[in-house]
Amino acid sequence: MSEHPPAPAERPRLHHLAEQVGRLERLDSPAEAVARAVRGAIPRGGVKDALSGTWLGHALHPLLTDVPIGTWTSSLLVDVLGGRDGRRAAERLIAVGLLASAPTAASGLSDWADTTPADDGVRRLGAVHAVANVAALGLYAASLAARRRGRHGVGVAFGMAGAGALTVGGHLGGHLSYAKAVGVDQTVFTEAPEDWRDAYDDAALAEGALAGATVDGQAIVLTRRNGRVYALADRCAHRAGSLSDGRIVDGCVECPLHGSRFRIEDGSVQRGPAAYPQPAWAVRVERGRIEVRGA
């Protein structure tokens, strides 16, 4: 019997355009140079955690983008609908967006620097996303300067061009978040069994060691502390690094990719850039075997 593979699913044209951007290999070298510089400029700890949204409970960057996008879009509407009376308001809206763009860009760069060239085109998409947003920033800055020199028509033209660049950047940003899962909890679909399942040989797990295991198709990491065994989801919530390849630091499992630390007792985040806790599994030892189930 002959086999017929399914045809590729139909996708909107804008989706295909974004995917083509993700295949531009020529972006890899300059993107890695910039990403390396960003990683070097943002030390692990408080600053990195603040930009990542560790304190917030989810990624910070999408929240911050609401301000420049909202104010700049509002300025366009005021230009179109507000008449002469709206000119001052449009200037103020553009100025607020320019002020908000600095922390917005910093948080986005921090997130983007944690990607790799192997992340299914994510780094390339992020690079073009950033370029589009920088173009929007420059155009809105030129718009504000022109308006303050009394050249309102030129300012409106710059603003409309900025809105176009902002739209391109926004589309690519949405593709990164919703099609490429950047900034989302990588463990959100982890499903632990309700009943006890065999996971590992108790005698083979040394004190302070990390061991990976697979239970019902789910990867977990096991460790022993003060004689007690603990289990967390192995896939790091931040960028899906394997925690079993990491190390134990101050009672936490440290991810080998970006240094996020999760408390072994309950998976809570002790250091970012992760903003989401690791799912913790219940553990027991029966007849020399470590068994686990959903907490």
Q: Distance between CA 238 and CA 183 in Å, rounded?
A: 7
Residue 157: CA count within 13 A, CB half-sphere: 5
Task: Tell me 179's DSSP state.
Answer: I
CA distances 2 to 6, 39, 148, 286, Å, are 13, 52, 71, 49
Which residue, among 130, 140, 59, has the nearest Cα to 99 in the 3D structure? 140
Per-residue tens of pLDDT for the chain, all 295 residues: 567 778 777 889 899 999 999 999 999 999 999 999 999 999 989 999 999 999 999 999 999 999 999 999 999 999 999 877 789 999 999 999 999 999 999 999 999 999 888 788 999 999 999 999 999 999 999 999 999 999 999 999 999 999 999 999 999 999 999 999 999 999 999 889 999 999 999 999 999 999 999 999 999 999 999 999 999 999 999 999 999 999 999 999 999 999 999 999 999 999 999 999 999 999 999 999 999 999 8
Beta carbons within 8 Å of 53's beta carbon, 6+ residues apart = 59, 60, 61, 63, 107, 272, 275
Bridge partners (DSSP) listed for residue 233:
220
**Alpha carbon separation from 258 to 64, 113, 114, 130, 178 (Å, rounded):** 22, 10, 7, 21, 22
pTM summary value: 0.88
Q: How far apart are CA 182 and CA 176, in angstroms?
A: 6
Enumerate the domain spans of the chain.
13-179, 197-294
Q: Dihedral sign, CA of 155, 157, 158, 163? A: positive
HSE of 188 in the Cβ direction (CA atoms, 13 Å)?
A: 10
| Token pair of 214 as six digits | 């697979």
Peptide bond into 273 cis (omega under 30): yes
CATH superfamily of this structure's domain 197-294: Rieske [2Fe-2S] iron-sulphur domain (2.102.10.10)
Q: In angstroms, rounded to a whole number, what is the distance separating the alpha carbons of residues 105 and 95?
A: 16
Cβ distance 207 to 227 under 8 Å? yes
